[in-house]
Amino acid sequence: MTEIIQDKLDQIKKRRRRRRKLSFAMLLLSFTFVFGTSHVISMIREASGLGPISIEKINTVSTSAEPTYKKQSFFYPVVSGIIKTGNERLTYMTVRGEVVWEKEFFGSDILAHERNESFYICDKATGDFYVLDKKGQILSKLEGLGKVDRFLVGSDGYTALYLKNDKKIALINPEGIMSATVPVPYEDLLDLSYSASMKLIALSVLVVEEDYFHTNVLMFGTDGRMRGARNFNNTVLFRLNEAAGGFIGYSDDMIIAFDDQNDELWKKIIDRSVTRLEFDSLGNSLLNLTIKNKAIDDTRDDNVLSMYDPAGERFFERKLETVVDQMAIGPDRIAYMGDGKLHILNFSGKLLGAKTLDDSLLALEWLDKFHLGVEYENRYEIYTCSY
C-alpha cells in the first residue's frame, strides 16, 4: 500500500471518529434536554457500573413506644411512604419521613399494606381490619376477627387474614365484606400467596406423620372453593410467590413454578442452602445461598447472592466475602447488610456503593428506587442512594 493511499485512509478514519464524537455529543445533549443533567449522569454511571453512589442519611424518625415482644416493628413501608404506629397513634409519612397525617389508633402491633390508593391496616392482636383512603379516612372496617398471624392484600384489593386460633383464613373482598372462609387442615401453615389474575389463593402447609413429612399446596378461589392441590414429598416449601399463570415455591434446595392444574412450569435445583430469601411484586427472587464448612460452622465458606426472574432465568450470581444479616430487593437495585456495612448492587450484581452503619438493625427495606429504610429498636433511619 502506498503512502498516499495510507494517508487518505487515515484521513477518512479521522473524519469518522469526529462524526462519531459529534453524534454521541448530540445524543447526550438530547438526553440531557429531555431528562435533565443529573438523571443522564446517573443513567450512564449505573449502566457502566461506575461508582460509588452517594449513600446519605436524610432523616431519623424516633419512637418512644414500648414493644410487647422482642424485635417488634413500629414502622411499615408501603407503596408511597411509611406507616408508623405506637403510643395510640397511627402516622402516615412520605419516603423522606415527612408527616402527612396522624390520627388516634389504639393498636400498636399491626400489619399494613397499600393498594390502589388505599391503606389496609390490621391489628394482629384483635383482628380489627381497616381500609383507609390516602387522607386517613376510614372507608370500611371489620372488628374482632381474632388473632391474626398472616395478612396479605392482592393488587385487586382482595385480602386474606390467617386466624391462627380458629385455624382458618378469612377472605375479604375489595368492598370490605368477608366473602368466604377457608379452613386450614393442618397445624403448620408455612406461607400464603394470592394471584389477582387467577383470583386464587395458595396455602403451603407442612404435614408430619411419624418419620415422614411433605408439603401440601392447597389452592382456593375467592369464593372459598378448592381449585387445586399439589404435594411435595420430603420437601418443606417454606415460601410462595405469585408468578405468571401460577405460583413459585421455595424450598431449601429448590425453586419450582406450577399452575393451578398441578402442571410444573419450571424447576431449578439449588446446590446450596437458602439462608435468606426476598422477592418483589414482579416475581423476581433474591436468594442468599451458603455452603457451610463441615468442620467449622462458618457461612463464609461459600456465600453468594443469586437473583432469578419469574421465568426462572438467573439475573446474576455474586460471591460474597461477608455474611448477609439483612437484605432487600427494590426497583432496579438490591441492598444487603453484612459485617457492619450497607452494600448497594444493581440487577447485574455490580457493586454501586457501600456505607458503614450500626449493625443492630431489625429490618432493611426499599421505600422507592432512591430511598432506603433501616429500622432499629427505637428509631427508623432513611437514606438516599444516588449519584
pLDDT bin (cut points 50, 70, 90) of residue 49 is very low
Gyration radius from the chain CA atoms: 25
pTM: 0.83
Neighbours of 253 (CB within 10 A): 14
pLDDT bin (cut points 50, 70, 90) of residue 18 is low
Can you name the residues that pair with 168 across neighbouring β-strands? 163, 183
Domains of the chain, residue spans = 272-387
Inter-residue contact 191 to 204 (CB < 8 Å): yes
pLDDT bin (cut points 50, 70, 90) of residue 256 is very high
Cα gap 5→291, rounded to integer Å: 63
pLDDT higher for 333 or 27? 333
| SS3 category, 243 | strand
Cα gap 174→139, rounded to integer Å: 11
State percent of the chain over pLDDT 90: 73
Strand order in the sheet with 89-93: 75-78, 81-86, 89-93, 99-104
Query: Which of 79-83, 120-124, 200-204, 272-276 is predicted with the least confidence, judged by mean pLDDT?
Result: 272-276
pLDDT tens-digit map of 156-185: 999 999 999 999 999 999 999 999 999 998
Question: Is pLDDT above 80 for 310?
Answer: yes
Q: What per-residue confidence (pLDDT) applies to 367?
A: 97
Cα gap 362→325, rounded to integer Å: 10
Long-range contacts of 333-337 (CB under 8 A, 24+ apart): 333/366, 333/369, 333/385, 334/286, 334/305, 334/307, 335/364, 335/366, 335/372, 335/385, 336/288, 336/305, 336/364, 337/361, 337/364
Residues 335-362 have a mean pLDDT of 96
Question: Is pLDDT above 60 for 45?
Answer: no
Mean residue pLDDT of the chain comes to: 87
State percent of the chain over pLDDT 70: 84
Residues 192-216 have a mean pLDDT of 93
Cα gap 195→188, rounded to integer Å: 22
Q: What per-residue confidence (pLDDT) applies to 58?
A: 98
- The CATH homologous superfamily of the domain defined by 272-387: TolB, C-terminal domain (2.120.10.30)
